[in-house]
Amino acid sequence: MSRPPRPPAANSRRQGASPAARPSAAVGATGASLHPRNRHQGHYDFDALLAQSPALAAHLISTPYGERSIDFSQPAAVRALNAALLRLQYGIAHWQIPEGYLCPPVPGRADYLHGLADLLASDNEGVIPRGDQVRALDIGVGANCIYPLIGHAEYGWRFVGTEIDLQAIAIAQQIVDANPGLAAAIELRAQTLRGQVFASVLKAGERFDLSLCNPPFHASAEEAARGSQRKWRNLGKPIGKRAATPLNFGGQSNELWCTGGEASFLRRMINESAPLANSICWFTSLVAKSEHLPALRKQLQKVGASEVRELSMAQGNKQSRFLAWTFLDASLRRVWRAQREAI
């Protein structure tokens, strides 16, 4: 067994070809607490990972502590580790994304799902509602399809994933199709109106117990490129040809930025959520920059949210969080729950 990398920091959510965690020195550090139900506590069990995914062997390295690990600056190694983790921990036998697409740090992504399960449990006498009557809407599912994969495996929830990038959606669909049983649980929908979050992807009368989102982070392509170069430099890698051609670009530039960055994306999401008060019980999103929170809370008050919660996730030495809001008070949420159970 070897220690896993420090769980991903909030700003390492934007991984494409760049590393999913700090390499070498940090590889040996377990980092701060993941959610207690997170399957990635403590040490990666490389014996078990290799038994399930022999292809990972090609990417193994030995750390300065003499432990087995992978080189997190190598996208192919991170992809192989992710494929092995998804297979071992979540029974996802086939997971493949092309080079250049966002390669998610699995432990951190799983934490958001566990936090969401706790949120739903708080309306359900402390019991996590499981099974396919629970419906979740993932805004920006990405090529990696990570939240539906983990959420369905952990809790049996059904997902609709939306995406503006048609190539990403095609890759996510390949993952769904390659794994028996997923097609009934995960539906992917293209968001054809780039500036919209919920509009046009919801069908009439459709209801979701929650929405989730890992929003585009940077405000411009240039900012995203600078972010990539900074990460590369932090890894002690020369800013050579690879970094000058921004690492995270190509097919997945949408993944990294949107006009106005995270704050503007979340503003749009909040504005669009109010008219959907009775269609989605809990709206949620990751918020990478805590300085955005006061303005977001103010806006939520303005649009009439009846409850707003901020749920923190400690990941490595970074504090991350997701914001959750609902327009339904506790008694309306009891009605919602009864209707779900009646399905």
| Residue 135 or 340 having the CB closest to ligand SAH | 135
Q: Which of 80, 141, 202, 280 binds ligand SAH (CB under 6 A)?
A: 141
Q: Which of 147, 157, 232, 282 binds ligand SAH (CB under 6 A)?
A: 147
| Residue 201 or 328 having the CB closest to ligand SAH | 201
| Residue 102 or 281 having the CB closest to ligand SAH | 102
Q: Which stretch binds ligand SAH (CB under 6 A): 26-34, 62-70, 85-93, 144-152?
A: 144-152
Contact 42, 30 (CB under 8 A): yes
Query: What gap in Å lies between CA 10 and CA 314, rounded to an integer?
Result: 9
Answer yes or no whether residue 78 interacts with ligand SAH by CB under 6 A: no
Could you say which DSSP state residue 250 is in? S
DSSP-assigned letters across all residues of 164-194? S-HHHHHHHHHHHHHSTT-TTTEEEEE---T
Helices first, then strands: H and E counts in the chain: 11, 9
Number of residues binding to ligand SAH, judged by CB under 6 A: 23
Residue span 152-191 as binding mask against ligand SAH, x where in contact by CB under 6 A, dash where not: ----------xxxx--x----------------------x
Q: Which of 4, 142, 246, 251 binds ligand SAH (CB under 6 A)?
A: 142
Q: How far is the CB of 243 from ligand SAH (least distance, A)?
A: 21
Alpha helices in 5-53 (DSSP H): 46-52
Q: What's phi and psi for 182, nearest 5 deg?
A: -80, -25
Residue tagged 């982070």 (tokens): 217
CA distance to 35, 184, 259, 331, per residue, from 341 (Å): 27, 19, 40, 15
Query: What gap in Å lies between CA 86 and CA 146, rounded to an integer?
Result: 9
Residue tagged 């958001």 (tokens): 112
Within residues 207-266, the interface with ligand SAH by CB under 6 A covers 214, 216, 254-255, 258
| Residue 168 or 288 having the CB closest to ligand SAH | 168
Q: Which residues of 51-83 are buried (b: 16+ CB within 10 A; e: fewer)?
A: ebbeebeebbeebeeebbbbbbbbbebbbbbbb
Q: Which of 120, 146, 175, 186 binds ligand SAH (CB under 6 A)?
A: 146
**Per-residue tokens: 286:** 């990751």
| Residue 2 or 248 having the CB closest to ligand SAH | 248
Contact 255, 214 (CB under 8 A): no
Query: What gap in Å lies between CA 72 and CA 55, rounded to an integer?
Result: 16
The residue sitting closest to ligand SAH, measured at its beta carbon, is 140
Q: How far is the CB of 341 from ligand SAH (least distance, A)?
A: 29
Q: How far is the CB of 66 from ligand SAH (least distance, A)?
A: 32
Q: Which of 38, 144, 279, 284 binds ligand SAH (CB under 6 A)?
A: 144
Within residues 83-102, the interface with ligand SAH by CB under 6 A covers 102
CA distance to 25, 137, 158, 203, per residue, from 342 (Å): 52, 20, 16, 21
CA nearest neighbour of 96 among 175, 190, 25 = 175
Q: How far is the CB of 63 from ligand SAH (least distance, A)?
A: 26
| Residue 160 or 300 having the CB closest to ligand SAH | 160
Torsion (CA) 288, 290, 295, 299 in degrees, nearest 10: 50
| Residue 100 or 328 having the CB closest to ligand SAH | 100
| Residue 112 or 282 having the CB closest to ligand SAH | 112
Residues forming contacts to ligand SAH in the complex (CB under 6 A) are 102, 104, 109, 139-142, 144, 146-147, 162-165, 168, 191, 196-197, 214, 216, 254-255, 258
